[in-house]
Structure 1
């Protein structure tokens, strides 16, 4: 069955190992489905570039344990190979909840063995104690083997192998120190794949490393998927009767109930933080997804009934966004006409009066919200439990959900009518901007286990069509 790629801590090379394996499998012409533990957007972009298949996030906080299991089963049903890239260290979970939502937790939920990546650059015999500890810490987590990363020399490798020999832990890969394998990063992690011009040669090099650095005779069977049962389905998306478009609780004539609702999705280098499951849910519930670029397009797509402005890096493209005045004015005019609009993090920033970048330069944005997004050094990060303060575009009053914050900007003015109260540790007790037709928030949401959220959004989009 497939492997979970884990690390003893962050920064040991999980993503490099994962991309090397994926690249090698693809070079061999094999179909492979990848997954990422946690609320990450950027690593899945690299997975997708390599595999040509959307990477799926496995996060039991944002969704549920059951959804994690169903998502994995559903998306491995038609591929021969799969792997899961972990997050942080193997047992590092959501703050204050033990190892809940950790790589180990996901491995237990899915019954998958773990391949442990170890940064060997500053150790020799001590590796035995480290690997022994990770193997024995949790009897329900099976360690299938290790990858020795950043090995300095043949002599160094001999010392590492000698130390590990009494443990009988298979060494399934050895990667030497690779100064040429560098993916640039910035204030929120790796630079997204869309922005890298030399990604193809890098992936070719990763594929070569994958071919030459791993014991494929033992590794390939561990990556193979089991044949799924005949009834395998992703229940939260496409099997429950209430998720069909004709059962949505808005008033439409019968002949209209089968029409697709066109939704404009901002998609370019500035806006690309989307969970694929969210987009799939919208499409399954009856949306027609129309992608457009606030950076490059002069207007919104014709006839759309809703806007979805995802997260990303608008601060890195603030000057270009400001220069595209026609696009900004088109968004502003549509929202003033009360088109239903869902804006997350970067999307929220785009709706502000201005963005002040890291060089303290101001750039005009859409001007819907009477506040400015200012970039800073402080990172706001963590899971948030939210409760809706009033009926709105996405939530009924009192509805509770889990989301995730990850940004280095703050707003100069707080909303008079916020969207949420925050009951988990957070910088402030309330968050988000609310209008009857607008949901703008720093909180990223995964709708996989809560299809009622996109359903309510589409209900409002359908009403917009009726009014207009």
Structure 2
């Protein structure tokens, strides 16, 4: 067994400050010269960008369903061998979802720090802390941190409200100026927050004034768990990935799998009007924020021509969510402005201010199930007929459509490719699923 200090950062609900606290812990302990490895619970692209900036290392997803128990165990085992501290950021409220953040913390016996946004409350803070700590005896509990505290007197009332036997770890003040900006899909991307490092340093300073300045308790992780190497099903293939502020929703584990499967990987920026690299065999257009950059994307002729040439050569394209929107005839933003896209797929997408769909999804393929999730604010009108449809992870209800148009495979679903390397390889070889 490998022993490593570890802490699970959960909360009473979404928007309580989990990412801010996790990033603060990472930056504080990194400044102390410690090697910090961070994981994010569930499907998320935005929080890991912030957390990677805080600790200097890629942030991988852990989820008992999407990633799988054994893969989670193997990643934690590897991290425990090299890190001085492991941090796991939860998702939503601690007990929300199936499986929940609490399920993950319990599975690996990682103690939970509960973050509670204390604005607008006083003694009720103690009741929430007590409930989170005692709701499930199998979930180890480290303590509670108050966020968005208004004053020294407010902090004192919160501390006094904590029942005996629970640890009060301190607070973050409204005056700390460390909150991270958000937009419709979650936090703003790390590269777009001009003063991000200053915010992280201020957050680390705030952590230094709490009991969390010291390392949390040691956790015992399996040290003999490794995942088998994937078959080299992409040997010799060159895959180009669109990557910039418009196309950034990319799991590090997905890119790792491409490389481990034998592919060479290169990147290009549609926003910078860069062409698809020469001699590529397949193209990956991930999700992101094309709606925020639709006018620029519509006018970038070099990228447009190179993608169309790639498609004309009948070479594989895998397009997810925002990447699919880029291939359509047009994209209409929330102000009602219609922007011409690549017209590689028939159809129009329209952005709306309300969430269209959020769910864990799976696709049953000839190679077995491929897991992932969907999260989007747009609606699609298309003449294309799906060749298959994903299903909801827990209810089995119909999920996102998957379309095949020539050598293009397109869907709103963001797939977690390590859940099925053979299905991933089929996508990039342009084969049927």
| TM score, norm. by length of structure 2 | 0.91
Q: Secondary structure at the match of 2:267?
A: strand
Deviation per CA, 1:208-245, whole angstroms, max 9, x where unpaired? Answer: 222234442xx4143x665762x442x1xxx24xx232
Deviation digits for residues 139-177 of structure 1 (CA, Å, limit 9, x no counterpart)? 10011111122222232233222222x422122232122
Matches within 5 A, 1:194-343: 194-216=191-213, 219-222=214-217, 229=223, 231-233=224-226, 235=227, 239-240=228-229, 243-245=230-232, 248=233, 260-343=236-319
Q: Give the direction of change, closer, same or farther, for the CA distance of 1:53–1:306 in structure 2 (3 Å limit).
A: same
Q: Secondary structure at the match of 1:308?
A: strand
Q: Distance in 2 between matches of 1:382 and 1:58?
A: 18
Is the CA contact 1:351–1:365 (under 8 Å) kept in the aligned structure 2? Answer: yes
Show the counterpart of 2:402.
Answer: 432
Aligned counterpart in structure 2 of residue 193 of structure 1, from 190, 193, 210: 190
Query: Using a 3 Å threshold, how does the CA distance of structure 1 residues 121 and 377 change in structure 2: closer, same or farther?
Result: closer
* 3-state SS in 1 of match to 2:357: strand
Farther off after superposition, 409-418 or 424-433? 424-433
Contact 2:372 2:416 in 1 (8 A): yes
In the TM superposition, what whole-angstrom CA distance separates every residue of 1:412-443 from its partner, at most 9, and x where no partner exists? 22422444254666996661321352210001
Post-superposition CA distance 1:31-81 (Å, at most 9, x none): 101011111110001011121211111122323222222222233331111
Give the counterpart of 1:171 among 168, 171, 178. 168
Q: Which moved more, 1:291-300 or 1:419-428?
A: 419-428
Number of aligned positions between the proteins: 427
Residues 43 and 288 (structure 1), Cα distance of their counterparts in 2 relative to 1, 3 Å cut? same
Q: Deviations along 1:345-372, whole A, 9 cap, x unmatched?
A: 0110111111111121122222110111
- Paired residues of 2:315 and 2:407 also in contact (CA < 8 A): yes
| Alpha-carbon shift at residue 324 of structure 1 (Å) | 0.7
3-state SS of 2:96 partner: coil
Aligned residue for 2:10, secondary structure, equals strand
Equivalence for 1:137: 135
> Could you tell me whether the CA contact under 8 Å between 2:110 and 2:219 is conserved in 1?
no
The 8 Å contact of residues 38 and 101 in structure 1, kept in 2 or not, is answered as no
1:381 aligns with 2:357: yes
CA distance in 1, matches of 2:399, 2:203: 45
**TM-score, length of structure 1 as denominator length:** 0.85
Query: Structure 1 unaligned runs (5+)?
Result: 94-99, 251-258, 389-394, 462-468
Q: Secondary structure at the match of 2:153?
A: helix
**Preserved CA contact (<8 Å) 1:318 1:355:** yes
Alpha-carbon distance between aligned partners in 1 of 2:8 and 2:413, rounded to the nearest angstrom:
28
The residue matched to 1:62 in structure 2 has which SS? helix
Cα distance in 1 for partners of 2:76, 2:383 equals 40
Shift in CA distance, 426/375, structure 1 to aligned 2, threshold 3 Å: farther
